[in-house]
Structure 1
Amino acid sequence: MIGIIFATEMEAQPFLDRGGPEGVVTVICGMGMEAARIATEELIEKYDITTIINAGVCGALINRIERGAVYRVSMVSTEHLKAGVNVGIGIGLKRLVTVDEPVFEPKRKKELSKYGELVDMEGYAVARVCEAHNIPCILIKGVTDFGDGSGKADIQQHIASVSETVAEKVDGASRSVATKRDAPSTLKKLRSFTKVEHTIFSLPLLFAGAWLGAGGMPSIKVLLLIALVGLGARTFGMAINRIFDKNIDAKNPRTKNRELPSGKLTLAQGYGVALVGIVIYFVGCVLLGTTVLKLSLVPLVPLALYSLLKRFTPLCHYGIGICLGLAPLGAFVAVTNSLVFTPEVVLLAIFTFCWISGFDIIYALMDIDFDRENKIRSIPAALGASGAQLVAAITHLVSFAALVLLWMSVGGTFSFMALLVSAGAFGAAYLQSIPVHVRFFPISAIAGIAGALVVLLG
């Protein structure tokens, strides 16, 4: 199902008159980011949405744009939160800034032009919700005015004709999406299922553990094998987690579109992914030597079981902390073939354990109501949002304290800069103006990578 969101009836009517392809539901959300956010959430919850198109009129922030022109958007942001959402790649696409009030003053227009060429009042909210639900989003905007003193009159004069042009573009885009939606590649579905790209952000912590074991840079061969083991372990863990949580995910509006509950992948395919991950993991362990192979079952236990913890204890977030906290220790063993850990690698493991555990608590804030209704154990469900963020903050203070001690042992000027970046990311995790899913990713990744760089740049 394709969801199409317009702010006003006047913008939507030309498209509604066209009819559009089958499998399209059109919503008029009202003006403003909050109205757009609510409408997008409700659309996703009510229908099996595969793509959302937000369309309508906008203002131009630079004079070389023509009135009546219709553009696809490449990135949308707000003036307060510069971390935008990427919604398109291609030649001729424009950047969009979403604001709370219409722009009719040249001074305001000039300020906003630093962030984009177009301005609207809904696009960012729609794109953020789509990003949180892993749903593709297309923004199509037609220019009615230039954000100056004549803006109100220009909108009234040109909204009808521009909306006709927008409707034509939306009709073409929706038909194009409709022809492609029924046959997403298996590779794309598997990539989404395993979130392979997220593995990249855990590799620096593995490499940091190896670095401490070698007293410097290990051989390229060892680093590649460690990366292989990390990829296999994470693939196995993610697949098992999604398999165990299939029925829970199906009930949760936020996760019901995931591959297993939505039927995009079968349970057999899910187990197949887990099997591939475990094979990759053991191949890497064998190539890293006897000591690693003997200990190879140790990380698999928490990887296989941590997703079950939410059925029994609100401390489940620390289960994933154990999984990732073992990573630098395992890399250390891969290099040294010894279980005699140095204080530095222990501090790195503590940092990693508390870093991801705290961010997992923050991530669970998105499901606090669902968890309570379905008796899912989590710290937010048990303590509420404020209590959960306090626990997460204490956990992160321990993490950062371990990182400071680590820097005092191995660090230098460049690693101190990484320490400051990590501190900034930890702080950003508690800014309420930043959406929870953004605080979890990419902010958590920034904190973790910077923590690893404290070692790698030391």
Structure 2
Amino acid sequence: MEYARKIGTKIKLYSQLVMFSHTLFSLPFAVISMIWAAEGLPSWHVMLWGLIALVAARNGANAFNRVVDQSFDAMNPRTAHRHLPKRLLASKEVLWFVVVNYAIFIFAAGMLNMLCFILSPVAIFLISSYSYTKRFTYLSHLYLGFTIASAPIGAWFAVTGQFAFTPFILGTIVMLWIAGFDIIYGSQDIEFDRNHGLWSIPSIFGLKNGLRIAAALHSIMVLLLIVLIPIRQLGWIYIVGIIVSILLLLTEHKIIKPSSRKIMKVASYNLNQVISMVILVSALCDYFLL
């Protein structure tokens, strides 16, 4: 019984470490991509191994980022409570967690098709290298979005094994969306980033300009969501989903308050989790019901 309790505690710690609930940022777009690529429901084989690949890659990348950033996390009052600075988990065991997840990802990619298997090391390099970008470029927000954009693109490859135009539009939407709210999130650390030589759009361009850039990225994201209407012959349910998403994005930008950690969590994370689900539900209902 004691052993089972310890296992449960470890699972909880690792789930918190990789912020498992944030899978909602990439998973909905990956599901949309799979459905559109398959022109309906993909096979159980593709759905299973595609989901395993996505979760494993994401868990590995997030854990790796925590190891790389632990020294900065320890110095930042906002992040000093995280698992590695607090020594709730050891760096060595987290690195093993990374290795295991990346191995699972490569295996799952191989179970999908040859294209996914060949591209899996490239994907690992991209999602791992993000952890270092904040040390030398304020474009780190866009690079983060670029790495997460691999979810819908990879999901399309998982189904078809071929390149296509639609998944790259979906990927660009994800990239702009993620980069926009990551800029909002980064506005909490302007002074810390400036004092410790870290690069971010808010720390380089200031709070107001940073938020304007975030708003511009989200505006382009919405335009691309609209562009998909004629390309995918989408109907009124999808359009309603876009309208709801726009209202949520406007709310997100309206409530920004860097001095309040609670409000910033809502603006950066909670509202965007709702947005991704709204887009998922509207896209799928539009596809299957109209």
TM-score > 0.5, shorter chain as reference: yes
Q: Which has more strand, going by share of residues? A: 1
Q: Which residue of structure 2 aligns with residue 146 of structure 1?
A: none
Write out per-residue CA displacement over residues 293-347 of structure 1, whole angstroms, 9 at most, x where no aligned residue: 11112211221111211000111101111111121111111111112x13x3222
| CA distance, structure 2, for counterparts of residue 453 and residue 407 of structure 1 | 15
User: Any stretches of 5+ residues in structure 2 without a counterpart?
Assistant: 1-7, 258-262
* Corresponding position: 1:457 with 2:285: yes
> 2:274 pairs with 442, 446, 456, which one?
446
Q: Which residue of structure 2 aligns with residue 280 of structure 1?
A: 104
| CA distance, structure 1, for counterparts of residue 256 and residue 185 of structure 2 | 15
| CA distance, structure 2, for counterparts of residue 409 and residue 455 of structure 1 | 13
Q: Please list, as runs of the form range in 1=range in 2, the aligned pairs for 1:337-352 lying within 5 A after superposition.
A: 337-339=161-163, 341-342=164-165, 344-352=166-174
Q: Which residue of structure 2 aligns with residue 187 of structure 1?
A: 11
Q: Which residue of structure 2 aligns with residue 387 of structure 1?
A: 209
* Corresponding position: 1:425 with 2:248: yes
Q: Which residue of structure 2 aligns with residue 354 of structure 1?
A: 176
In our comparison, the structure showing a higher alpha carbon Rg is: 1
* Corresponding position: 1:217 with 2:41: yes
* Corresponding position: 1:331 with 2:159: no
Contact 1:226 1:334 in 2 (8 A): yes
Write out per-residue CA displacement over residues 155-209 of structure 1, whole angstroms, 9 at most, x where no aligned residue: xxxxxxxxxxxxxxxxxxxxxxxxxxxxx92222111111122224421111111
Q: Please list, as runs of the form range in 1=range in 2, the aligned pairs for 1:292-307 lying within 5 A after superposition.
A: 292-307=116-131
Of all paired residues, the percent bearing the same amino acid is 29
> 1:436 pairs with 264, 271, 274, which one?
264
Displacement of 1:366: 1.1
Displacement of 1:398: 0.9
Q: Which residue of structure 2 aligns with residue 117 of structure 1?
A: none
| CA distance, structure 2, for counterparts of residue 253 and residue 238 of structure 1 | 20
| 2:85 alignment partner, SS class | helix
| CA distance, structure 1, for counterparts of residue 123 and residue 186 of structure 2 | 24
Contact 2:24 2:276 in 1 (8 A): no
| 1:260 alignment partner, SS class | coil
Q: Which residue of structure 2 aligns with residue 203 of structure 1?
A: 27
Displacement of 1:433: 5.9
| CA distance, structure 1, for counterparts of residue 34 and residue 220 of structure 2 | 23
Query: Structure 2: which amino acid aligns with 1:185?
Result: T
| 1:443 alignment partner, SS class | helix
Displacement of 1:292: 1.1
Query: Structure 1: which amino acid aligns with 2:268?
Result: F
| CA distance, structure 2, for counterparts of residue 385 and residue 437 of structure 1 | 17
Write out per-residue CA displacement over residues 354-384 of structure 1, whole angstroms, 9 at most, x where no aligned residue: 0101111011011111111111100010111
Write out per-residue CA displacement over residues 130-173 of structure 1, whole angstroms, 9 at most, x where no aligned residue: xxxxxxxxxxxxxxxxxxxxxxxxxxxxxxxxxxxxxxxxxxxx
Q: Which residue of structure 1 aligns with residue 87 of structure 2?
A: 263
Write out per-residue CA displacement over residues 245-271 of structure 1, whole angstroms, 9 at most, x where no aligned residue: 010000000101101111110011110
| CA distance, structure 2, for counterparts of residue 214 and residue 281 of structure 1 | 22
| 1:311 alignment partner, SS class | coil
| 2:155 alignment partner, SS class | helix
| CA distance, structure 1, for counterparts of residue 281 and residue 76 of structure 2 | 37
Query: Structure 2: which amino acid aligns with 1:233?
Result: A
User: Any stretches of 5+ residues in structure 1 without a counterpart?
Assistant: 1-183
| 1:261 alignment partner, SS class | coil
- Which structure is higher in RCO with an 8 Å CA cutoff and minimum separation 6? 2
Task: Give the count of matched residue pairs.
Answer: 274
| CA distance, structure 2, for counterparts of residue 347 and residue 432 of structure 1 | 29
Change (3 A) 1:263 1:255: same
| CA distance, structure 1, for counterparts of residue 282 and residue 76 of structure 2 | 38
| CA distance, structure 2, for counterparts of residue 330 and residue 438 of structure 1 | 29
| CA distance, structure 1, for counterparts of residue 223 and residue 275 of structure 2 | 13
Q: Which has more helix, going by share of residues? A: 2
| CA distance, structure 2, for counterparts of residue 419 and residue 283 of structure 1 | 36
